[in-house]
Structure 1
Amino acid sequence: MNFNIRGENIEVTQAIRDYAEKKITKLEKYFDDKPTSDVHVRLSVYNNEQRIEVTIPMSDLLLRAEEQHVDLYAAIDLVIDKLERQIRKYKTKVNRKLRGKDSPKLLAAEIAANGAAKEEESSNEIEIVRTKRFDLKPMDSEEAILQMDMLDHAFFVFTNAVSGDTNVVYRRKDGKYGLIEPN
């Protein structure tokens, strides 16, 4: 794993860097092959709250978690726990789904980063403050809902594996899910 550790309002000391790398490297035990992806870690401090965000984009899986705590080392431990839960939850669901089929064991399906463009309206002008681009991987709606829940987002854009169309799943206010399909 290649580490990219940045600090916002905090100096990233060698001790912090070593601790974060050591903890994140322990996630390798959950994979059959050693991941060779980049690990993006963002550390920040606001109002005496230490915050850590970790993003690990891989070819078959996107892991992302963030945590806040008064102690930075405790925040790192908490974010690692979240990532471990995500990996275990996803591997269990994928393996359970594949058990009934004669398919080879897969690590995970692709999670497309949720490409939400935030809109801000000021003095009757709409300003796009962020743009994300990502590849849409074919999956079914059940898998897309799982990816959306793992990312803790309100919606998820994906390519329907059956029809080949771009679809959107979203979480409704009543806690259920909706699916948007083109005509």
Structure 2
Amino acid sequence: MNISLTGRGLELTDTIKDHMRSSIDALKKYNMDIISANAVASSQHKKGKEHFNVEFVLNLPQKHTIVISQNDGDLHAAIDIALERAEKALRRLHDKEVDHHKTGLNEIKSEDVDVKEVAAELEDEIVPVELDLYKPREVEDVLNDLKESGKMFDIFIDNEDKTRVLYKRNDGKFGLY
């Protein structure tokens, strides 16, 4: 990896250069084969205060160039924040390559898969259940059954051939729909 350190409007001291180099070296852990890394530190005076701008330009093979620019009143803080943002960008690219592996058509064709067996496995199995719903019942009988069973509701047909629901309310009483 080629590393280029540049200072615009300020002189880069050895400690700042070492800090920038170690920051860029920390980006190697993502195994993204960084071709070159350019770090540019500049100083600006606005309203009597000095502001620092740090810009990292990372060139990756077969990918876009990553450009991170960070402003701060402290040069070391600007370098650290720019490093965090560069790590985040590289982590996203790395995760996208590792987690989103696409299977090609040739790999799919090489697998022997019986489509009929897979379709049969995916079908939902329907088990018929006989309901006691069809014979008319009295509300009192359903109420007694509901109190004895621990169910929250019961669906039944009353003597007038209407489908009814008897349910237990939150206040302990019963409701009829």
Name the aligned partner's letter for residue 57 of structure 1: N
Q: State the match for 1:79 in structure 2.
A: 82
Name the aligned partner's letter for residue 51 of structure 1: N
Q: State the match for 1:5 in structure 2.
A: 5
Name the aligned partner's letter for residue 40 of structure 1: N
Q: State the match for 1:39 in structure 2.
A: 37
Q: State the match for 1:67 in structure 2.
A: 70
Name the aligned partner's letter for residue 81 of structure 1: E
Q: Distance in 2 between matches of 1:92 and 1:54?
A: 21
Q: CA RMSD in A?
A: 2.0
SS state of the match for residue 74, structure 1? Answer: helix
SS state of the match for residue 20, structure 1? Answer: helix
- Give structure 1 regions of 4+ aligned residues with deviation exceeding 4 angstroms: none
User: Which structure 2 segments of 5+ residues have no match?
Assistant: 106-177
Shift of 1:12: 1.0
User: Which structure 1 segments of 5+ residues have no match?
Assistant: 104-183
SS state of the match for residue 10, structure 1? Answer: coil
Q: State the match for 1:58 in structure 2.
A: 60
Shift of 1:102: 4.7
Q: TM-score, normalised by structure 2?
A: 0.51
Q: Distance in 2 between matches of 1:36 and 1:91?
A: 12
Number of matched pairs: 100
Name the aligned partner's letter for residue 16 of structure 2: I
Relative to its length, the structure with more helix (as a share) is 2
Shift of 1:23: 1.0
Name the aligned partner's letter for residue 60 of structure 1: Q
Q: Distance in 1 between matches of 2:36 and 2:99?
A: 29
